[in-house]
Amino acid sequence: MTVERSGDGAHSAEAALIAARRSKTERVRARGENPFANDVTERERGTPLTSLAAVREHLASARRPDGRYDKEAVAAASARFRIAGRVLFLRSFGAGAFVRLRDRTGELQLYCQEATLGAAYARLDDLDLGDFVEAYGSLMATDKGELSIDPTELRLLTKAHRPLPTKTTFKDVEQRYRQRYVDLVANRDVAAVFQARASIVASLRAFLDGRGFLEVETPTMGTIVGGALAKPFETHHNALDLKLFMRIAPELYLKRLVVGGFERVYEVARCYRNEGISTRHNPEFTMLEYYQAYASYETLMDQTEEMLRFVDRRLEEQLPLAWQGWAAARPFSLERFARVPMKQLIGAALERSGLPLDVPSAVRDKDAPIKEWAKTSKARGREIDWANFRKGALKCEGDGELTFAAYEYLAEPFLAKDYRTEDGHKSVPVFVIDYPFEVSPLARKKDADPALVDRFELFVEGREICNAFSELNDPDDQADRFRAQVEKKARGAEETMDFDEDYIRALEHGMPPTAGFGMGVDRVTMLLTQSASIRDVILFPLLRPETAG
């Protein structure tokens, strides 16, 4: 007796379906036809292919308010088209069959009739869901008002040997990420997210191009680590016998270009950080970075508000139906933005929590009454991650780092709760401004308070979206900060920068007053499409190798 292992039944059933489809492939070959044809362009010389959306647009005047088509008006148009697409639905009934096709623009039905197709009607027996076909025929509307093509020609273009899953059967999240090519077919809302991502990137470019920015490309590998505080990926160049690092940000190269006279410059840059994976972090990701001479971080705050609204308007114009669903689900509004200094956020957080004002420094004391603070009468105190706050505070080397740690644990997790629209229904985006200089090694110190820098980060519904600051252009100050980074690395810190001598040399040639901006394209896509995980907006996210089962 053979014992069937768990899952073997499903596997054998799929194997049988694949075998049946392969037998159809051989049947097509046996009659002298190619089940993987590539001669569509030759046939187009007679009648070119028309997209399915263009076919519908041709008969737009025959479409009734309920979305159905007037049968007589369609017949009167007497239009004929050649189309191609993937088979999504196929149902035969005696001498007729309905076949629904999809291409990149939409869907359309074939109403196949044996009387019209003649001997070619038998070819429907060789079709399965997922196949690609080409059809030629006249437009018609069914009795129910469905726009259709009544084909006089029908042929297989590509045979699909594996059956396509449906939205209801293809639910395993990891499988969807691994087999994105199937996910895009089975889940149309997934395809809409990636269409939105393309629209967002194009809109960001349009926004900057329209303001005189120049798009450039900078190296993705370098001999030193710089541009941001993160752990890099390492690689090796064999011919030059060089240890190289994958870039964590394009910042230092872009600022070199500002020195060289490109006063408005940007890059849509692929970056790599050797960090943990979460719903908001992927080891490789896409950033928009731009630099603008004769501007400050305040200039960029105004520009950021304009840019996000511009991108969202373009998204609404290009994907109106999908946008309506995303916009309705958003727990935030882009109508008004708040701007709050970091120290003010900490003070307000302590007040809302009913905690003493000396908590940020006192938390490092081994006798600090953390359990008492956690049981404060106000609920906020019980929501704070006290254990990790203390661990982080103990690692801080100065007041600036401690201020930042206090902000991260006392204020940042509650921004969406604390900053709301007037009616309280939605959160408003928050620009957190004026960071300690110790955690901002590339930003310019504030003239009024050298302990702080001219920097902001934008948070929308608790998600960090972008980071910007007035750039440090004093070469001596920058050299001192690089040395401080090197000293931290010597003490064991991983997320540090190297000393970039060439960048210091560039600053010594003079960089005009400049403001710089960085934004995660993945995160802004998550934001505008209401996607829960960064993997939902990256076509092929990094996954562990698939294990043989």
Q: Which H or E run includes 252?
A: helix 251-259
The pLDDT, as a whole number, for residue 548 is 58
Q: In angstroms, rounded to a whole number, what is the distance separating the alpha carbons of residues 410 and 406?
A: 6
pLDDT at residue 227 in the model: 65
Distance CA 220, CA 199 (A): 24
- Positive or negative, the CA dihedral 14, 17, 19, 22 is negative
The distance in angstroms from the start CA to the end CA of the chain is 22
Collapse the DSSP code of 244 into the 3-class scheme (helix H, G, I; strand E, B; otherwise coil) and give the result: strand
Q: CA 227, CA 221: separation in Å to the nearest integer?
A: 12
CA 125 – CA 138 distance, rounded (Å): 22
CA distance 414 to 266: 32
Residue 276's pLDDT is 78
pTM above 0.75? yes
Q: What is the pLDDT along the chain (549 residues), one digit of tens a residue?
A: 333 444 556 678 889 999 999 999 999 999 999 999 988 877 666 788 999 999 999 999 999 999 999 999 999 988 899 999 999 999 988 789 999 999 999 999 999 999 999 988 999 999 999 999 999 999 999 999 999 999 999 999 999 999 888 767 777 888 899 999 999 998 889 999 999 999 999 999 999 999 999 999 999 998 877 767 778 889 999 999 999 989 989 999 999 999 999 999 999 999 999 887 888 888 999 999 999 999 999 999 999 999 999 999 999 999 999 999 999 999 999 999 999 999 999 999 998 888 888 999 999 888 888 888 888 767 788 889 998 999 999 989 889 999 999 999 999 999 999 999 999 999 999 999 999 999 988 889 999 999 999 999 999 999 999 999 999 999 999 898 888 888 888 887 766 778 889 999 999 999 999 999 999 999 999 999 999 999 999 999 988 888 755
Quick one: three-class SS letters along 72-94?
A: HHHHHHCCEEEEEEEEEEEEEEC
The full set of domains in the chain, from first to last, is 14-158 (2.40.50.140)
Closest to 14 measured CA to CA, from 117, 136, 162, 143: 162
Block residue for tokens 């050298």: 450
Of 9, 16, 13, 18, which is closest to residue 130 (Cα–Cα)?
Answer: 18
Structure tokens at 220: 């993705």
pLDDT in tens, 376-414: 767 788 889 998 999 999 989 889 999 999 999 999 999
Residue 243: what pLDDT?
92
pLDDT for res 545: 87
The beta-strand segments (E) located in 300-399 are 338-341
Q: Which tokens go with 469?
A: 């600051």
If residue 330 lies in a helix (H) or strand (E), which one and from where to where? none
Non-local (6+) Cβ contacts of 241 within 8 A are: none
User: Within a 10 A sphere around the Cβ of 455, how many other Cβ atoms?
Assistant: 24
Q: How many helices and strands in the chain, by DSSP H and E?
A: 21, 16
Alpha helices in 78-187 (DSSP H): 114-117, 173-178, 180-186
What whole-number distance in Å separates Cα of residue 190 and Cα of residue 525?
12
Q: What tens digit of pLDDT does each residue of 264-286 get?
A: 999 999 999 988 788 888 899 99
